[in-house]
Chain A
């Protein structure tokens, strides 16, 4: 059985690449090791409730009719109408630090005013930074040079608290690198969060993923679930086939892998030289989901998303302990403009976490640690927001270990490798990567990554 392309992974990037190829009559098969779609943006079911993983909100929201934005491009390329995604915008979010709160909506001018009110001395610098961001070509696929963002931010902004407050949401929602963030990533994230904005689809990731799956299948694409790849086989440096866990070997002209750069190279046969250890992602998170018996706003939680730090200095790094409770992200799924209210209240809390520590715990201690650290994390939130524990009707948490188990990402690294391969190329000819490690981040970014890699490496060939 010979394919034009095999795509590894049925996350957003893999599904999008699959749709593009099937749309133009390529013979394409997506292989997925898990039994559910979605990869890093999947969902799971507990006690008849369906929860999204990894999704607080979709970034990059632009309204219907805006066609040159990432969302607009994605809809055009996959031939969906804006309405198909059923996006509901956020109400209002905030960045909460000890001395300052910056609120933001999907209207950038509101945020600009907040910066002016909270940091009057910095607004001129901030405006100049915005001009720099607008004129920056962050989507150039050929540009491989890495430029840190902090030195650039310091040219424009003197107050380190404002720099940390700007970085906080951008890093939480897309930085694979500890400490600083590459400037082009900063630009991508700044535009996607502050200048475009947040929205959630009615029906969550489950709905979006099945919309993509349905389109892929209608176009004649083949999807094999529960089919992990054991090896990607090459001859004379050119990819030939992939071998699945059940022993099947699928031959193909090209292979596009969304399993991560290092993860992909490690599956190659004959083996390639071991990638640099610093290219392995480290940043992972623990997340707790609290179903509550009221609308979160009635419990004192009226923001869509809150990025907080209880310290004036924000450090984005793998914590020394199992998780870092001094900073995190709080998301109230209900506080989006849904046509009908959600059935139940849902408050999610995300904290940076240490994969190695979680991974080393024996089963019994692991369960106890989840409870312990969830309590610690919630108590940290209750130092500035009301305690809602009496209203909780269901609680669940996942850790870096859970993420590794279901996505295969080394260290449960949600944003993959700090080194992005923007052109998607690997040392093996006709083997390409897409998704998180290609460098377009977030839900819209991952989807665009699949589209661009399919266009560049298979359709334009």
Chain B
């Protein structure tokens, strides 16, 4: 998966967990929780979606890497690089 594909995947997860939010305007380097009001319950959802869709386990100590969109991409791209975007 390319960086752009990983980005799309994270956006699609965010779209699922925050259906009332406008995710098209998300800035990559600002904290997600400041842009779309994500709380700890929502971070659990991001982690659960990654497990459901890609069988990726994110340990609780790594949650901090998911704070921004750029952080998510950096953290997840190595884990997803061998996957096909279609999965």
Interface residues, chain A, CB within 8 Å of chain B?
A: 23-25, 64-65, 67-68, 72-73, 75-77, 79-82, 451, 455, 459-460
Contact = CB atoms under 8 A, between A and B. Distances in A.
B71 to A, nearest CB: 21
A116 to B, nearest CB: 33
A81 B17 contact: no
A81 B16 contact: no
Name which of A65, A76, A77, A451 has the most chain B CB atoms within 10 A of its CB: A76
Name which of B17, B21, B45 has the most chain A CB atoms within 10 A of its CB: B45
A398 to B, nearest CB: 36
Contacts of B21: 67
B19 A459 contact: no
Given A75-B20, A76-B17, A455 B41 contact: yes
Nearest to A460: B44
Interface of B: 16-21, 36-37, 39, 41-42, 44-45, 48-49, 51-52
A23 B49 CA distance: 9
A82 B51 CA distance: 27
Contacts of B44: 455, 459-460
Contacts of B48: 23-24, 459
Contacts of B19: 79-81
Contacts of A82: 20
Nearest to B49: A24
Nearest to B18: A76
A77 B16 contact: no
A67 B45 CA distance: 15
Chain B interface main SS type: helix
Contacts of A76: 17-18, 41-42
B20 A73 contact: no
A67 B37 contact: yes
B52 A24 contact: yes
Given A79-B19, A81-B19, A25 B52 contact: yes
Nearest to A65: B20
B22 to A, nearest CB: 11
B20 A77 contact: no
B12 to A, nearest CB: 13
A132 B42 CA distance: 28
A65 B36 CA distance: 10
A76 B42 CA distance: 8
Contacts of B52: 24-25
A24 B41 contact: no
Contacts of A23: 48
Nearest to B17: A76
- The 9 A-B residue pairs whose C-beta atoms are closest, nearest first, are A67-B37, A24-B48, A81-B19, A24-B52, A25-B52, A81-B20, A77-B41, A68-B37, A455-B44
Nearest to A84: B19
Contacts of A455: 41, 44
Given A24-B51, A68-B39, A76-B41, 19 more contacts: A23-B48, A24-B48, A24-B49, A65-B20, A67-B18, A67-B20, A67-B36, A67-B37, A68-B37, A72-B37, A73-B39, A73-B41, A75-B20, A76-B42, A79-B17, A81-B19, A82-B20, A455-B41, A459-B48
18 contacts: A23-B48, A24-B48, A24-B52, A25-B52, A67-B20, A67-B37, A75-B20, A76-B18, A77-B41, A77-B45, A79-B19, A81-B19, A81-B20, A82-B20, A455-B41, A455-B44, A459-B48, A460-B44
A296 B62 CA distance: 58
Nearest to B44: A455
A82 B21 CA distance: 11
A345 B44 CA distance: 45
A301 B21 CA distance: 40
Contacts of B36: 67
Contacts of B42: 76
Nearest to B37: A67
A79 B41 contact: no
A73 B17 CA distance: 11
Contacts of A24: 48-49, 51-52
Contacts of B16: 79
Name which of B20, B42, B51 has the most chain A CB atoms within 10 A of its CB: B20
Nearest to A459: B48
Nearest to A82: B20
A217 B57 CA distance: 26
A460 B57 CA distance: 11
